[in-house]
Structure 1
Amino acid sequence: MDKNTGTGTQPDNRFAYMLVLIRYCEGREVFDRIMEQGLIQESTTAEIVRQAASALLYAHNRGIAHRDMKPENICFCSKDVTNNHVKLIDWGLGFYFGQGRMNSAVGSLTYAAPEVLEAKEKQGYTAACDLWSLGVVTYVMLCGKPPFWGNYNEQLRRMKRETFPMSDATWQQISRPAKDLIRGLLRADPKQRMKLEDVLRNPWLRLQESQSAMDTKIASQVLTNLRQFSRTSQFFTICVASVARQLDHKSLRDVHKVFAEMDTNGDGVLELHEVRAGFQKFFGRDSPQVQDVEQVFQKLDLDGSGFIDYTEFCAAGIGERVSLEEDVLWAAFKAFDVQDDDGRITKEEIQQVLRSGDVNKLWTPQVCQEVAEDIFENFDQNGDGSLDFQDDSTVGKRRSPVKKRAHER
């Protein structure tokens, strides 16, 4: 799961489909905000663009193109108008280009890249199509109008000429870096289009980001939660990860802020150097908390990918209090009750979840079986060969429920 995609995506190489998990967003679409206000303030636009670009970079790095970027598909997480946290939604036209060529003319005429509109069977196009759409979305947010208009042929001609108005009274109030970003994205040649990494390094976005100061007390608490979480058992971390996936945006707001602050390149994951820099910033370069950062990082990297993704960070950062609330424990319980939804968990169900999750990259089937057996040995209170919610709650509330061999990889 990424902090701005609104989904958790898991390509399944065995079948011709991709699993997409949708997180509920209670706020309305960016499109609605534009219709109500006529346009969106430059500072807010920059905040939205930075998040959308981060979501696209996360997806592109996993071989997924969105192909339908538009204000209707960017949604505010909260009804609170002061909260500009957004998610990129509606991946129905998304394409896993890691296993095929994109050659379908899809998306909306106003926002689709010229190479998408002219797509042909043999030629195809790349994920750079999303960059063009991001440029159009940015333009529309800042002035309330699309950069290209007319019928199909007229729009396509203007797109290829890269001609769009930027001189009226509205645009005279817009900063030069914002205009430069749009010009860099609205390049007819996909190879000349600004790269996502360069978008996220753009001075316009970095300036807006630096102006939103992070609460040091909140950041320190989240990072302290990370250190404490790294000392728990591996199975406990998996349980809390399933809890994190169930939490709403309000519960994750502080954790999200800290993650975004530490994710300096905006790719939606944290590398070791970013985590170390975050600990140094909030605790001090020579602090005891910084000394064991590498060990903390390795423990939190549940899937052994070499970086900490948003779900892993949320699981560690939410703290014990949130992870032990009854409603989230129930959500975690249901994540393991996968076969017949009968309110009871069997050894086979635990093994099934462990084998199908990211942990299977680290744990052999034998270790998964041993973990399940250890859990039942310790927590099957009536010895009936299954766990009910009362049993599972006990698993969640004891931080080290499995024996040492469950830590071995």
Structure 2
Amino acid sequence: MRLSYGFLLTRTSTCTYTRSFIPSPVRIPLSKTPTHRSFHSHAQGGLRHPFKLGNFLQKFKSPLILTPELLTGEHRDIKDYYDFEDKLGFGRYGEVYIGRLKSDPSGSTRHAIKVIPKSKVRGLYDLKQEIDMLELLDHPNIINIIDVYEEPHTIHIVTNLCTGGELFDHIVKKGTVSESDASRFTKQILEALAYCHGKHIVHRDIKPENILFKADDEMSPLCLVDFGMSRIFKDDELMNASVGSPAYVAPEVLDLSYDEKCDIWSAGVILYLLLSGEVPFGGKTDDEIYSAVAKAKLEFPQRNWANISDEAIDLVKHLIEVDISKRLSAEAALNHPWIASSAANRKEPLLAAIENMRLFTSHKKLKRIALGYVASHLVKTKESEAVKLQKLFKTLDNNNDGFLPVDQVVQVIVDNSGSVDETYKRQLEDSVREIDTDRSGSLDIEEFIAAAMQQATYLKESHINAAFQKFDTDGSGSISREELIAALGSTADVDDIMRHADLNKDGVIDYPEFEAVMREKSFEVRKSLSRARSRHVSK
């Protein structure tokens, strides 16, 4: 995949050189091919205050000598606790291995172990900071530190094991990803950042190389790693350390005056890269890249963005926003329509439809019938959700007769659910038959849409109201037993529906009660009605 700055996408790394007596550690971002450039302020439109790396390192030719047990205060031999297996790769300080926990008799507990020779550590600042930060964090999309073992000459950091590789490699392999995947990845990155920022921790080196897949599976959760550049910040505090990686750094970081929203800019650059295959600000050298970042001229060339939705582009613009006061926070970005409206984290259409079908069978009878009405309404009005699901339906309709046999639908779900046993398959078949409301043995387009549509679609007020009107044939503003019988075609389930939906027990289902069923908030509505009755009695 060729990027806009004219060469193949390559990893970036961030090097840190510190000594304990230096008040503010100097951090120098390096590319994979060591150019040894730092970035500097662009306040006057050019680079200034050049940093002489060679002169700096000449002062410290020898590594900092560490004394035993300096980090943890106790000596523990990790080989008493873990058996070392395959090497995973190389971290910033040393090699990373898979370790099998000896105390687990099943032998199935495996963790990642960073092996860090103390002789290779020039200063403890970053290493200890990374450990301290990780001990403060507990989130499903953030690497979890399990333990630290220290020997006289080695430190071992044990974390949860991520076997799926880097998001960077995923991008290189695929070139670009679908909006579905980009939304799913971005949501997880933003959730991790919202959690960090809520804990007053800023990462300061967000890039695809620092985001891992937990498992070797495209649907695997992501995990944010490498907190060596992170720090705790105070409200309204501006930081001034030179940190980050060239293509992903925020312009205010180049000017050495920034807050936690520098992470949001970096997340926006990753989103831009996911959708287009290119970074927004490039150049042939690090200095050229920094200059492009400082100018921050954000463009969306047609060759890459013609088929990307307006909502996705709008989010990119709100993340890669020069004005920090206008740049979205992580929490606000999670509420952006492109993220918030995507059910199942905007999974691929088939997987999202399968998940929705599973949920459909757990709904109450009244809601399932109502969803059928909504589906009919969507088809007639040709709403976008119906159009998308019709296209999906056609891809599954092998003989083009407008019907999907129940056993075929079951097999599609099984094929996308991993390993399943016969018991699960029988239960699944029973569930799919519940979707087949007319008991024909096949699903027609409206039955399919009723079960597969996104929750955000059917919970629109207009759709709930349209479904209610279908039941309320006499326009009285409530659904009577007779109207229910007419809709069901029998009396079989009427008592159960009334018991569940008629919350105030007045013999009819009014609109608030119907809406409660659709939104599955019966308990909250029941409490509200109870309070209302109490107020009425007290009067």
- TM-score with structure 2 length normalisation? 0.37
> Relative CO higher for 1 or 2, CA cutoff 8 Å, sep ≥ 6?
1
More strand by share: 2
More helix by share: 1
Q: Which has the larger radius of gyration?
A: 2
- TM-score with structure 1 length normalisation? 0.48
